[in-house]
Amino acid sequence: MSVPRWVILVLSLACGVGVSTIYFPQAISSLVAADLGVSTGSAALVVTAAQFGYAAGIFLLVPLGDRLPHRPLIVTLLTLTAVGLLAASAAPSLPVLVVASAVTGVTTVVPQIIIPMAAGLVPAERRGAVTGTLLSGLIGGILLARTFSGTLGERLGWRAPYIVAAVIVLILAAILSRVVPDTEPSTRLRYPSLIAAPLSLLRAEPDLRRSCLYQATVFAGFSAAWTTLTLLVTGPTYGMGAQAVGVLGLVGAASMFSTPLAGRLADRRGPDRVSLLAMLGAIASAAVLVPAYGGGTTGLLTLAAGLLLLDVAVQSGQVANQARIFALRPEARARINTAYMTCAFLGGSTGSWLGVRAYDRFGWRGVTGLVAALAAVALGRHVHHLRRVQRGGTLAAPHEA
């Protein structure tokens, strides 16, 4: 099947809009805290709930991409996401907002359905380029979401980003109801068997397990840094508004260009080389971020540089990991992606929770230490794998954990 480039671009936009709904609350948590009369640490639970919901949605809903026609599935999930966003915008208290955020996270998994779908719609020789385009849209959504919500929230209040996002998602649902190609389910498995499949794949595929560990740990550090960034920037050290968090999000836009570069490097030198560079980059970013605790112009510059390096490291690692896992079992890409992304976002949501705790107890330097420690866990596992490869152990024992 040949899919026009403009369709891929629309799907890339859908990936960006879809993923943005779980990231834009990061920039407005201080506004939520002030309006609802809670601490900023408590308001950060909105972000954590969205990420936990997203992980649950990946596990429970993404496997349906192998079982149901894609078009009605995508449109239905987008419509439910818009309803959840509107409910969040009207939340009278923090507990209601946290619940609405979690529910919205569950249904906003459309990007993780689109990416495996697109991989199956194009010839093998276009698959890498198409995946890179979709991931660029995903990254753009992650980064621009913070700028969008920070700027709009500063001017119109924290509820405005939720309302505007709901309208955009509904418009996108209408567009995709006409754009998404007709597809046939690739399996007739019953739902219990369908959602059990990712667990079976995790047991059977050691490369999938280590890819999950790599992204869960590095993404946990990423989430810890971005969740606590609002606390740092809007706190006494800098005394800036939520809009500043959004502007810092634009700094990471340069990481969009790292995705195709990482993909080409993975094609030439293998995903493991890119994974190694990504882990080292995450550790280096933690060191760059440390001086930001002191504030001032120097602090802002190191904050921007460190966040950019961390963004590049995380996104490059994502490219390497997905290149590795999509080569394992092409006939089960959605289920493999389910296992991988569930682990990644469980790591991310745990990282958000740990980040707030580290910030409350040790300040910004505690957060940077957490980022470095989490990346070091991934690096230790990767070094162990590379040593096994050098000894020939991986070939001799392909199913060892």
Contact 321, 207 (CB under 8 A): no
CA dist 169 and 186 (Å) reads: 27
The structure tokens 């894609």 sit at 70
Contact 386, 280 (CB under 8 A): no
189: tokens are 């498995």
Task: Count helices and strands (H / E) in the chain.
Answer: 18, 0
Contact 242, 28 (CB under 8 A): yes
328: tokens are 């394992």
359: tokens are 């910030």
pLDDT for position 400: 37
| Residue 273 CB coordination number (10 Å) | 14
- Cα 387-216-107 angle, rounded to 5 deg: 150
Query: What CATH number was assigned to the domain covering residues 5-176+198-396?
Result: 1.20.1250.20
CA dist 50 and 56 (Å) reads: 10
374: tokens are 């989490």
Q: In angstroms, what CA-CA distances link 190 with 68, 71, 308, 390? A: 11, 20, 43, 42
26: tokens are 């990061």
Instruction: Sketch the domain layout of the chain as residue ranges.
Output: 5-176+198-396
Candidates 40, 385, 5, 370; CA nearest to 223 is 370
| Residue 256 CB coordination number (10 Å) | 20
Residues lower than pLDDT 70 in the chain: 1-2, 124-129, 242-243, 245-246, 249, 252-253, 393-401
Residues 6+ apart with CB under 8 A from 277: 313, 316
Q: Where are the alpha helices (DSSP H) in 90-123?
A: 94-107, 110-121
Tens-place pLDDT, residues 257-278:
777 778 778 878 888 999 999 9
CA dist 183 and 117 (Å) reads: 9
pLDDT for position 265: 83
CA dist 10 and 161 (Å) reads: 22
Q: In angstroms, what CA-CA distances link 25 with 19, 98, 217, 221, 336? A: 12, 11, 22, 18, 28
